[in-house]
Chains A and B, each alone.
Chain A
Amino acid sequence: MSEKAKYEAGFGSDALKDPQRIVFITKKTSAKVKGDVGRQVMSFPHVILREAIAFQVLTIVLVAIALFWDAPLEQLANPLLTPNPAKAPWYFLGLQELLHYFPPVVGGVLIPTLVVVALIVIPYFNVNIEGAPLWAARRGRRFPLVVGTVVALLAILVAYQAWTVIAPTVLVAGGVLLSNFLSPGQGRLADFLRARPLPWWVMTWFIAVALTLTIVGTFFRGPGWSWIWPWR
Chain B
Amino acid sequence: MATTWTQQTLNHLRRTRAWKSIFRRGPARTNRTRSLAIFGNIFLHVLPVKVREKSLRLRATYYLGSFSFFLFVVLTVTGVLLMFYYHPAVPEAYRDMKDLRFVVANGVFLRNLHRLAAQVMVAAVFWHMFHVFFRGGYKPPHEFNWVVGVGLLLVTLFLSYTGYLLPWDQLAFWAITVGTNIISYVPILGHPIRFLLLGGNIIGENALLRFYVLHCVILPLAAVILIAVHFWRIQKDGGLTVREDHERKG
* B120 interface residue (CB < 8 Å to A): yes
Which 4 interchain pairs have the tightest Cβ spacing? A31-B238, A77-B173, A32-B238, A123-B143
- In addition to A32-B237, A38-B52, A48-B44, 17 A-B residue pairs with Cβ atoms within 8 Å of each other are A36-B247, A39-B53, A41-B51, A42-B34, A43-B34, A43-B49, A50-B63, A54-B70, A62-B120, A67-B112, A70-B108, A71-B114, A73-B97, A77-B169, A91-B160, A116-B154, A123-B140
* A174 interface residue (CB < 8 Å to B): no
Cβ B116 vs Cβ A76 within 8 A: no
Residues on the A chain within 8 Å of B174, using CB = 82-83, 86-87
What are 13 A-B contacts defined by CB distance under 8 Å?
A: A39-B54, A44-B44, A47-B47, A59-B74, A71-B108, A71-B111, A104-B182, A109-B182, A120-B150, A122-B133, A123-B144, A129-B139, A203-B133
Main secondary structure on chain B at its contact with chain A?
helix
* A42 and B49 contact, Cβ closer than 8 Å, known pairs A58-B67, A66-B113, A203-B134: yes
Cβ A40 vs Cβ B51 within 8 A: yes
A210 to chain B, nearest CB (A): 9
* A184 interface residue (CB < 8 Å to B): no
A82's closest neighbor in chain B, by CB? Answer: B174
B62 to chain A, nearest CB (A): 10
B80 to chain A, nearest CB (A): 16
* B206 interface residue (CB < 8 Å to A): no
Cβ A31 vs Cβ B237 within 8 A: yes
A152 to chain B, nearest CB (A): 25
The distance in angstroms between the C-alpha atoms of A95 and B179, with both chains bound, is 9
* B217 interface residue (CB < 8 Å to A): no
Question: Of the candidates B129, B142, B160, B242, which one forms a contact with A37 in the assembled complex, judged by CB atoms under 8 Å apart?
Answer: B242
Residues of A97-135 contacting chain B, CB below 8 A = 99, 104-105, 108-109, 116, 119-120, 122-124, 126, 129, 131
Number of interface residues of B (CB under 8 A): 86
Residues on the A chain within 8 Å of B157, using CB = 91
Cβ B51 vs Cβ A46 within 8 A: yes
The distance in angstroms between the C-alpha atoms of A51 and B48, with both chains bound, is 14
* B171 interface residue (CB < 8 Å to A): yes
Residues on the A chain within 8 Å of B153, using CB = 119
A18 to chain B, nearest CB (A): 23
Cβ A83 vs Cβ B170 within 8 A: yes
* A40 and B50 contact, Cβ closer than 8 Å, known pairs A58-B71, A79-B202: yes
* A41 and B143 contact, Cβ closer than 8 Å, known pairs A31-B237, A59-B74, A88-B179: no
Chain A interface size, as a band, is 35 or more
Residues on the B chain within 8 Å of A87, using CB = 174-175, 178
The distance in angstroms between the C-alpha atoms of A66 and B77, with both chains bound, is 15
Interface residues, chain A, with chain B CB atoms under 8 Å away: 30-32, 34, 36-48, 50-51, 54-55, 58-59, 62-63, 65-67, 69-79, 81-83, 86-92, 95-96, 99, 104-105, 108-109, 116, 119-120, 122-124, 126, 129, 131, 199-200, 203, 207
* A30 and B74 contact, Cβ closer than 8 Å, known pairs A67-B109, A91-B157: no
B210 to chain A, nearest CB (A): 16
* B85 interface residue (CB < 8 Å to A): no
* A79 and B34 contact, Cβ closer than 8 Å, known pairs A40-B53, A104-B185: no
Cβ B111 vs Cβ A74 within 8 A: no
The distance in angstroms between the C-alpha atoms of A48 and B37, with both chains bound, is 10
Cβ A89 vs Cβ B161 within 8 A: yes
* A105 and B187 contact, Cβ closer than 8 Å, known pairs A71-B116, A76-B168, A89-B164: yes
Cβ B238 vs Cβ A92 within 8 A: no
CB 8 Å contact bits of B169-205 with A (1 = contact, 0 = none): 1111111011100100111000000000000001100
Residues on the B chain within 8 Å of A95, using CB = 182
Residues on the A chain within 8 Å of B38, using CB = 43-44
The distance in angstroms between the C-alpha atoms of A207 and B144, with both chains bound, is 22
Cβ B146 vs Cβ A123 within 8 A: yes
Cβ B179 vs Cβ A30 within 8 A: no
* A39 and B35 contact, Cβ closer than 8 Å, known pairs A62-B116, A89-B160: no
Residues on the B chain within 8 Å of A36, using CB = 247
B159 to chain A, nearest CB (A): 11
Question: Of the candidates B112, B172, B242, which one forms a contact with A66 in the assembled complex, judged by CB atoms under 8 Å apart?
Answer: B112
The distance in angstroms between the C-alpha atoms of A123 and B53, with both chains bound, is 25
B231 to chain A, nearest CB (A): 11
The distance in angstroms between the C-alpha atoms of A188 and B179, with both chains bound, is 44
Cβ A123 vs Cβ B101 within 8 A: no
Cβ A58 vs Cβ B168 within 8 A: no
